[in-house]
Amino acid sequence: MKTLSSIHQISVRFNEVDSLGIVWHGHYISYFEEAREDFGKQFGISYLDIKKEGYAVPIVKTATEHLLPLKYGDVMTVETTFANSRAAKIIFNYTIKNELGEIVCKGETIQVFTTIESGEMMLINPDFFKDWKQKHNLLDG
Amino acid sequence: MKTLSSIHQISVRFNEVDSLGIVWHGHYISYFEEAREDFGKQFGISYLDIKKEGYAVPIVKTATEHLLPLKYGDVMTVETTFANSRAAKIIFNYTIKNELGEIVCKGETIQVFTTIESGEMMLINPDFFKDWKQKHNLLDG
Amino acid sequence: MKTLSSIHQISVRFNEVDSLGIVWHGHYISYFEEAREDFGKQFGISYLDIKKEGYAVPIVKTATEHLLPLKYGDVMTVETTFANSRAAKIIFNYTIKNELGEIVCKGETIQVFTTIESGEMMLINPDFFKDWKQKHNLLDG
Amino acid sequence: MKTLSSIHQISVRFNEVDSLGIVWHGHYISYFEEAREDFGKQFGISYLDIKKEGYAVPIVKTATEHLLPLKYGDVMTVETTFANSRAAKIIFNYTIKNELGEIVCKGETIQVFTTIESGEMMLINPDFFKDWKQKHNLLDG
């Protein structure tokens, strides 16, 4: 099965580290978001693309696993992979590596579709998302 | 088995919500931290208590599940429960409720022990943690 | 001349302090915002009140002066005072005190009016703001 | 008189913008810090360099002036200039430009010297800072 993934680089900011120079764990949720949005821009499924279709995609689950610290000045590489699924969900997996190529953090986010008009959650995939999957040969997922 | 839990109230800040007035999902990691530290102060196992013993307790895993949104001005109640385990880990479960008592978010964090001196990870529980468990009748966990 | 001010309490969050337990200076901009929005809710000039009138009020200037540190767990009191002016601006002064009543931080923010429709900046006060001033006996400012 | 300045590039993060895609004004304090620390690394007066000498340099004043918005994905250039002064202070001026070279934000920060040991504020410049100025031909300031 085809998988779709993007690579995005992020530099650690000075205010993201504590006094020991280590990135605070909560910032990884931002890194995931930053990388996910970059994926979205590359493959036409960004926040704005989805909004234009009349949907919001709120996060319903996140998971992070921390293996190594990042320090101030480090440049990380985030690989964002679309995890195909039959459910009416958008699932992304993330792998963050440091400059040595070592895995620093792994994670997952799950989003659902809600209509902007009524706020209701979709139980089946919206048409635009099916079209998007088809375009990227992901329909059997 | 005895469980240990604390209740902590947090008010949503204006800068924590997006333009729709909904709290950004990444902030829940902060709410967990805030509540965990409050638990630590109540039961003598705060960040500073642990540091005094020569240990740091870095987060190695987080998980969040989002069921309902929080809005600007909402006051949430975070229940933090110590999840007893034989492993050399500190595991907390969190349940965040809104003012109506509805569950807004559930989550978990896992921390390990590293010595401040060498940075090495402990494979067995440090003595001070065993003592702490004993004091709170949690040793069979 | 009449002045209008509000009092708002904010608790320092664990993630707002560095390893020395001191609040990072950048967070005071959030405290000002939080207090300003509280003023707005009390006196009918909140973010949403203004949006309803078709205007946005972007910040064009901020200033902070730091006299004493705040620590984790401290409860601060922010006094927000509307500084009347003939210019088409919203000017607020802030005084943050600790629990001993000592001044911790002083500051100012200046906002202008832009129309949501065109994004253009107003050179004279919009009518709704004149009405608001009149209602609060601030027209001579 | 000689001036010392550095140029630092920062990319706007997705989580730094509101729903209109505009960077929240409070983030500029972080951009200043990031750029100041970059200046410090270039000229040997970083946070860690100063700490090694036994001093902390807490911020006592900040000022920002906002002229144009920054959007998600924008790459800004921050020029950080050391403003020489006879006072026992570190004063920096900042000019942030967008990719068109337009000024987006201007600002200033003022820091004082406190000894790490006693926490007392220095009324005259510490020797290491005089040496640093001499090395960079800034002593007449």
Query: Could you tell me the pTM of the whole model?
Result: 0.91
ipTM value > 0.90: yes
Q: Is the pLDDT of residue C70 over 60?
A: yes
Question: Using CB atoms, which residue from B15, B18, B26 is nearest to D26?
Answer: B15
Residues on chain C touching A26 (C-beta within 8 angstroms): 15
- Summarised one tens digit per residue, pLDDT across range B105-138 is 999 999 999 999 998 999 999 999 999 999 998 8
Residue C136 lies in a domain: no
Chain C: which residues have CB within 8 Å of chain B?
11, 13-15, 30, 33-34, 37, 72
User: Structurally, how many domains does chain D consist of?
Assistant: 1
Domain that holds residue D87: 4-135
Work out the average pLDDT over D39-44: 96
**Mean pLDDT computed over A122-139:** 93
- Mean per-residue pLDDT for C85-102? 96
Q: Is residue D140 part of a domain?
A: no
* A15-21 own/partner pairs: CB under 8 Å, 24+ apart: A15/C24, A15/C26, A15/D30, A15/D33, A15/D34, A16/A72, A17/A71, A17/A72, A18/C18, A18/C19, A19/C18, A19/C19, A19/C20, A20/C19, A21/A71, A21/A72
Query: What is the distance in angstroms between the CA of the first residue and the CA of the last residue of chain D?
Result: 8
Tell if the CB–CB gap between D37 and A14 is shorter than 8 Å: yes
- Residue A31 within any structural domain of the chain: yes
Which burial class, exposed, middle or buried, applies to B88 when counting CB atoms under 10 A from its CB (0-12, 13-18, 19+)? middle
Q: Residue C140: pLDDT band by 50, 70, 90 thresholds? A: low
Instruction: Say which CATH number the domain at A13 has.
Output: 3.10.129.10
Mean local confidence (pLDDT), A99-126: 96
Residue B141 located in a structural domain: no
The mean pLDDT of chain B is 93
- The mean per-residue pLDDT over the stretch C2-23 comes to 88
Share the mean pLDDT of chain D: 93
Flag whether A140 is in a domain.
no
The answer, yes or no, to whether residue C27 has pLDDT greater than 70, is yes
CB A107 within 8 A of CB A115: no
Q: How far is C60 from chain B (nearest CA, A)?
A: 17
pLDDT tier at C20, thresholds 50, 70, 90: confident
Please tell me the predicted confidence (pLDDT) of residue B96: 98
Place of tokens 């004004």: D25
For residue D134, the distance in angstroms to the closest alpha carbon of chain C comes to 29
pLDDT for residue B1: 57
Q: What gap in Å lies between CA C122 and CA B20, rounded to an integer?
A: 25
B89-98, C17-26, D24-33: the lowest-pLDDT one: C17-26
Q: Considering the domain boundaries, does residue B41 fall inside one?
A: yes
**What mean pLDDT is reported for chain A?**
93
Name the minimum distance, in Å, from the CA of B136 to any CA of chain C: 25
- Nearest-CA residue of chain C relative to B35? C14
C19 vs A15, A18, A26: nearest CB: A18
pLDDT digits over A62-72, tens only?
Answer: 999 999 999 98
Is B92 a member of any domain?
yes
**Is residue A141 a part of any domain in this protein?**
no
Tell me the chain D residues in contact with residue B13 when contact means C-beta distances shorter than 8 Å. Answer: none
Q: For chain B, where are the alpha helices, taking DSSP H only?
A: 27-43, 47-52, 127-135
